[in-house]
Structure 1
């Protein structure tokens, strides 16, 4: 007699006929669910005016959402079910949660303008994620394109859009002019998400580190973590500003690589 729940099919059916599911297949999905819980809890805390905790929960959600895919690959537990769960979690954690936290903290002072800005960002995040999922199936893209995102990625967008919150924590009073400026900034970040702007990701070329750079890289990571622990909002604000300033650098690098690839294609394959 079958139980009240259908069996869990991580690949949508048609997979190996095993009677018991290895726990390692469930772990990435649990991490994804915890990320969703953190993002939704951040929304609740924001409307309870505990905004610092709310931002922390959104950042925790972003961290967990970034970890679940790596854990799945490490445990060899990737599945179609997990991929769909991850996409749904991304919309909550990188689109809805940051927009509502920002609205509860500041944008509500701008009235309907602030609410429209929050909606535009959340919708732009959903569109960005949908385009990303579609582009994963594009087998015609050159390999070097893997070094670049098309538009600002959703996790970075979530961190960037909360820059007004970081500045508020640093003492900038939440006034109407500040709320109107933050509304415009929120819309601009939403446009960056859905833009065709090439944003450096380093997924291909930065997958390996030169041996002479390993120790300096470790020291830089440790320094950043220490700054984040000691000067949290100053570090977050500086990181967001530096990220925005780095976008033209990525565009220039993309243009150079595209020109080089075009020249190589025009020259044709080397004669053997």
Structure 2
């Protein structure tokens, strides 16, 4: 029975993604964002539980990718679609009814990222390219910022050039040959986990100080610390 628990949690991840899609297509982007957060926690938990129970299986690996494709592939594309629908297409020269579909470029590159991860033996202990949950959390934070302080963030987040830049930058980062650390602890010594501890401590401080506004900064911090770790190791 216990060997099926990680897969059950993965299925809850998939369900969260489906619910997020419902909210996103109904322009309730803040609720879609909350569901992305729930999906990300479930995605972390299924891996943690699989390692704790040693309940590894090929079906679990494939199911995890399929669930991630919905929660961290289709959903962020749909959130960007919703944001681009509200943006002014005029400055870009792109027809107003075409611009929102650029958001699904993230969905395409998320599929490439997940396919690459499944066949890349280098990514057992770390990542090559930004993981799809990190990309999705960054994108999902945008409607939360918009809801929390529209006067402060509306001109930035609903700027079509900003949204297109986010789309193209993260599409590249998803498949880039960029080493990033994973939050997997083999032990809890500072020497072996200094980067992880620094990331977690700074993340907690940022969340305490600036709340939702910390989320995109935490993703940027994750990428920067990974680059610093990679360069220092070399």
Cα pair 1:43 1:54 within 8 Å, conserved: yes
Q: Distance in 2 between matches of 1:245 and 1:219?
A: 12
Cα deviation for residue 237 of structure 1 reads: 3.0
Segments of structure 1 that go 5 or more residues without pairing to the other structure are 1-22, 257-272
Q: Distance in 2 between matches of 1:177 and 1:196?
A: 30
- Determine the structure 2 residue equivalent to 1:149: 127
- Determine the structure 2 residue equivalent to 1:186: 167
- Determine the structure 1 residue equivalent to 2:100: 114
Bigger radius of gyration, 1 or 2? 1
CA RMSD between the two structures = 3.2
SS at match of 1:208: coil
- Determine the structure 2 residue equivalent to 1:46: 24
SS at match of 2:180: strand
Cα deviation for residue 218 of structure 1 reads: 8.6
Cα pair 2:24 2:75 within 8 Å, conserved: no
Cα pair 2:20 2:32 within 8 Å, conserved: yes
SS at match of 2:159: helix
SS at match of 1:149: strand
- Determine the structure 2 residue equivalent to 1:123: 108
Counterpart among 130, 133, 136 of residue 118 in structure 2: 133
Cα pair 2:199 2:221 within 8 Å, conserved: no
TM-score w.r.t. length of structure 2: 0.78
Counterpart among 168, 187, 190 of residue 208 in structure 1: 187
Cα deviation for residue 191 of structure 1 reads: 0.6
1:53-72 to 2 correspondences below 5 Å: 53-72=31-50
Cα deviation for residue 209 of structure 1 reads: 2.4
Cα deviation for residue 177 of structure 1 reads: 6.3
Matched pairs, number: 220
Cα deviation for residue 28 of structure 1 reads: 1.4
Cα pair 2:36 2:71 within 8 Å, conserved: yes
For residues 158-195 of structure 1, give each alpha carbon's deviation from its aligned partner in whole angstroms, at most 9, with x where no partner exists.
22333533442332116796133212211110111111
